Amino acid sequence: MRRGLVITIVAIALSLGVGACGDSDSASGRQTLSWFIARQPGGAVEALAARCSQASGGRYRIRVELLPSQADQQREQLVRRLGAKDDSLDLLGLDVVWTGEFANAGWIRPVPEQTRQVVSRNVFDSVLETARFENRAYAVPIWSNTQLLWYRKDRVGKPPTTWDEMIQEAERIGPKEGRIQVQANRYEGLVVLVNQLIESAGTSILAGPEQVRLDEAPTERALGILGRLSRSPVAAPNITTSTEDTARQGFEDDSSSFMVNYSFVYNSAKSNAPEVFKNLGAAKLPRVDPDRPSAPPIGGINLAVSSYAKHPDLAFDAVRCLVSPANQLEVTKLEGLPPVRDDLFDDPAIKTAYPGFAEEIRSSIQNAAPRPSESPAYQDLSLAIQRAVHPTTQIDPQNLDAAYDRLREKVLDAIKREGLL
């Protein structure tokens, strides 16, 4: 009996011990915050999560939950879980074009005013715009991205200032070495290209969440450039299936003199094509009209707090830590992605990350024009734009009425919907 009693006592003690160790955060009073975000190749997400967990003083631990690499799969996973009111999601890494949709659905919390004042300090206006819905902040930018014009300095005396000049110069060089690389496959990259051309021409796709703008003359001017490029002998042979990576490859194989792309191509050329790299130049994107500045695209990731998070106050504290200036610079160091604060571009780390073209990145973000993500039906809108202009070779620069009517009709149809799961 004594032996049985001892065994029973030991068993109870062990069960209590196991229970306490099974949730050490609960025992210590520390909360676990789940951060759902896409993996970054340089490990910045994990590094920032560890930094802020340690800096919390034991109040919380950030656990990284990695999303798929493809943006549409990321969105689908988040939409399904938030639609089911899953309270295991705390922090969300959102593509800059998802804010309107997620806020309109009630899936993310408005940013508290005290937090907003801190996290918006010195942040580019163009970046802050991507985090708003109906003039209210629903997300906090953590890193940005934009495109530049990359060109061959050994073939081009100076970078062209307009698209017309670039096409003309490329045709002078000839299709053997003068190709122009862009992104015109039927995917989000094509929307980026169309939007920056339309914005650079002096109009916008939308005038409000449910109102089409697309002023006819500037829209046709933008579509005309896209049609002219696509039908030119200096268009990439794969232009209708081109992406960021095919553009990079086309530039690195020595057949191209111009490329519109993100800054990742710099280190890629350095590693993969040293002969191309030594003649690589960078400039702001060309203008549509000579007397109107270009409107580069804006990309990046914003942080939001789920409406179903159990500890929203802690989650917003974590957001403030994650987007701190030191952490933004760490992202640039590890991933090569630009910070969202203007003042950080004076830091030596930025000059190191973007040698010789840091100011071009800064200026491009300053003057960037976000995609029309204020529409809660942005996913429908994006698909509508893609269907309207793809393949871009169908756009006749001599007869733009049909292309314009098709784009306007599909955009109007898209914004009347409520979005797709």
401: its two tokens: 């009425």
What is the CB neighbour count within 10 angstroms for residue 186? 17
Residue (of 300, 301, 303, 299) closest to 139 by Cα position: 303
Q: What is the DSSP letter of 273?
A: -
Hey, where are the domains in the chain?
2-145+298-366, 147-297+377-415
**Domain over 147-297+377-415 is classified CATH 3.40.190.10:** yes
- pTM for this entry: 0.91
2-145+298-366: CATH class:
alpha beta
Q: What is the pLDDT of residues 279-337, one digit of tens each?
A: 999 999 999 999 999 999 999 999 999 999 999 999 999 999 999 999 999 999 999 99
Q: How far is it, in rounded angstroms, from Cα 141 to Cα 144?
A: 8
Please answer whether residues 368 and 295 qualify as being in contact, where contact means their C-beta atoms are separated by less than 8 angstroms.
yes
One digit per residue, the tens of pLDDT, for the chain of length 421 reads: 344 444 443 443 434 343 333 334 655 689 999 999 999 999 999 999 999 999 999 999 999 999 998 899 999 999 999 999 999 999 999 999 999 999 999 999 999 999 999 999 999 999 999 999 999 999 999 999 999 999 999 999 999 999 999 999 999 999 999 999 999 999 999 999 999 999 999 999 999 988 999 999 999 999 999 999 999 999 999 999 999 999 999 999 999 999 999 999 999 999 999 999 999 999 999 999 999 999 999 999 999 999 999 999 999 999 999 999 999 999 999 999 999 999 999 999 999 999 999 999 999 999 999 999 988 999 999 999 999 999 999 999 999 999 999 999 999 999 987 444 4
Q: How far is it, in rounded angstroms, from Cα 289 to Cα 291?
A: 6
| 147-297+377-415 matches 2-145+298-366 in CATH topology | yes
Q: What is the pLDDT of residues 277-295, one digit of tens each?
A: 999 999 999 999 999 999 9
> Which residues, including other chains, have CB under 8 Å from residue 322's CB and lie 6 or more apart?
48, 49, 52, 62, 91, 142, 303
